[in-house]
Amino acid sequence: MNHREDHSEAALSKIAPILDEAVNQLPSEDRNAILLRFFEQQPNAAVGEFLGTTEEAARKRVDRALNKLQGWLRGQGVVLTVTSLTGYLLNQTVIAAPLGLALTILSQPVFAAQEAALQEKVRELLGPEALAQYQEFSRNLGSHLTAIQFEPLLSGEKSEREKKGKQLYLLLREETQATLQSQGLPADFQIVPTLNFRNIASESEGEKNLKMLVGIMERAAQRAGGFLSPDEIKKFDEFRNQALAANRMGLTMNRKLMAPAGR
């Protein structure tokens, strides 16, 4: 079937409802290039820097990605030249980039360059020794917060509750480290969902983080029978469910606060 090039407002208006899907079907590096070039309004030089390549290589990748987008849109019955598609992206995304696409870039590997730069700044600010202490604190923050918040629900005198809290903390830390290693995540991956910006940027990433956190707490509870009573383990299961709901609500609220006006 032959398609006729259609540059009318009607044809262009067909792009908006399927733009998220169109970009998301691209390979990751092509998708990053499109998101950076158009939705982040970055020049090719900056795109190349983010992707770890040259400005010319970035330009060629953007061109290839546009050709793939054009082909996919053609399959959906939207037939435009690459020039028309480029013009549409440049003119429309500044005004109303779809939220899903505008945030997707934060969950892609390209964000690693920004994280690395931030880590270097923190290193310069704190120095090696203080940075190591900060990283240790950040790495164990989820386990520490969980144990501290649950400790008042434990039975016994204060010293006994503190001892149990410490044992729970160590179990949570062990399970966290084992989980991160099994999933190929860095040891300093922030498991506290609301403190990991990727989870705010991407709902799917947030759900994965929540599921990972629940798994860590479940496995810790299964191993805690040596120092927690059955009633305390039951309380911990209830605490886990409350923590899950609270973190999910926190992520939802943060996404709404950060969403573009009118979305």
Domain membership flag for residue 148: yes
CB 142 within 8 A of CB 213: yes
Residues 245 and 142 placed together within one structural domain of the fold: yes
Supply 90's token pair: 């440049």
Distance CA 243, CA 193 (A): 10
Predicted pLDDT of residue 196? 82
Residues 140 and 222 placed together within one structural domain of the fold: yes
Of the three residues 111, 141, 166, the one that is the final residue of a domain is: 111
Q: Which amino acid is at 18?
A: I
Domain membership flag for residue 116: no
Residues 134 and 208 placed together within one structural domain of the fold: yes
Prediction pTM value:
0.54
Domain membership flag for residue 30: yes
Distance CA 117, CA 120 (A): 5
Domain membership flag for residue 152: yes
- Provide the domain limits for residue 144: 127-258
Predicted pLDDT of residue 234? 95
Residues 79 and 138 placed together within one structural domain of the fold: no
The CA-CA-CA angle for residues 46, 50, 52, to 5°, reads: 110
Of the three residues 56, 80, 111, the one that is the final residue of a domain is: 111
Domain membership flag for residue 263: no
Domain membership flag for residue 102: yes
| CA 185, 204, 64, 59 torsion-angle sign | negative
Domain membership flag for residue 191: yes
Residues 95 and 139 placed together within one structural domain of the fold: no
Predicted pLDDT of residue 99? 41
Residues 84 and 137 placed together within one structural domain of the fold: no
Residues 27 and 66 placed together within one structural domain of the fold: yes
Total count of domains within the chain:
2
Domain membership flag for residue 120: no
Residuewise pLDDT in 10s, the chain (263 residues): 444 444 445 555 566 667 767 877 788 788 888 877 876 667 888 888 877 889 999 999 999 999 998 899 888 888 888 888 887 777 654 434 444 444 444 444 445 555 566 667 767 777 777 767 766 767 788 898 899 889 999 999 999 999 999 999 999 999 999 999 998 888 878 888 888 877 877 888 889 999 999 999 999 999 999 999 999 999 999 999 998 888 888 888 777 776 654 44
Of the three residues 111, 144, 173, the one that is the final residue of a domain is: 111
